[in-house]
A = this chain, B = another copy of it.
Amino acid sequence: MAVTDEAIEKIKGMIVSGALRPGDRLPKESELAADLGLSRNSLREAVRALSLIRILDVRQGDGTYVTSLDPQLLLEAMSFVVDFHRDDTVLEFLAVRRILEPAATAMAALRISEQQLDALTAQLDKLGEAPSVEDLVACDLEFHRGIVQSSGNSVLCSLLDGLSGPTTRARIWRGLTQEDAVGRTLREHRAILAALRDRDAEAARSWATVHIASVEQWLRSTL
């Protein structure tokens, strides 16, 4: 195994074992390199790799720190990965989202606060009747994120956040080509919100399923 890969494993080990805790500062590059028995250049490769996936936070002029290791932060790296997938795998991502999002919406129906409900309502009202496609997509993303956050599971939230990347692309495409998609999306959002207000988990789940399935169906028919 290359010395850089060894260094990655060793740093990982230090964190997993608890020798390095979230927020801790690492020894400076030259010291850490000496400790691990490799050159500063090779160590930097290891640190850079761990930095890309948000394990380490490198601050020039200051030092290198272990991040909070929040699920949100680490899974955020997933969206970077998802970007590499081409359209032919979008359907598979969408299928996973079709499983997770209704479940998250149902969970949210039992936990969401009145305050959050009002915020979602205001958000939908602000958009108006005939928004631009860009505004609609941005709003859609925000709407679903708000709901999923209310599910109370940060892992689930981050996962869906990452999965929404390709879906978003598809939805832009759809909005540009399918005439009634805008109005339909707005109506479905209202329906989901109403189900949440009613604390009706099953209705919320069903509307979320319908919402995603409509995108999926359209995508399947055009690919």
Contacts and interface: CB of A to CB of B under 8 A. Distances in A.
A83 interface: yes
Interface of A: 4, 8, 12, 15-16, 41, 44-46, 48-53, 55, 69, 71, 74-75, 77-78, 80-86, 89, 92-93, 95-96, 99-100, 103, 153-156, 159
Given A49-B48, A52-B52, A84 B100 contact: no
10 contacts: A12-B84, A41-B41, A45-B45, A71-B85, A74-B84, A92-B154, A95-B155, A96-B155, A99-B99, A99-B156
- Chain A interface helix/strand/loop/mixed: helix
Nearest to A22: B86
B71 A89 contact: yes
A159 B99 CA distance: 12
B49 A52 contact: yes
A84 B15 contact: yes
A15 B82 CA distance: 12
B45 A96 contact: no
B55 A84 contact: yes
Contacts of A78: 75, 78, 81
Contacts of A80: 12, 53
A76 to B, nearest CB: 10
B53 A81 contact: yes
Contacts of A8: 52
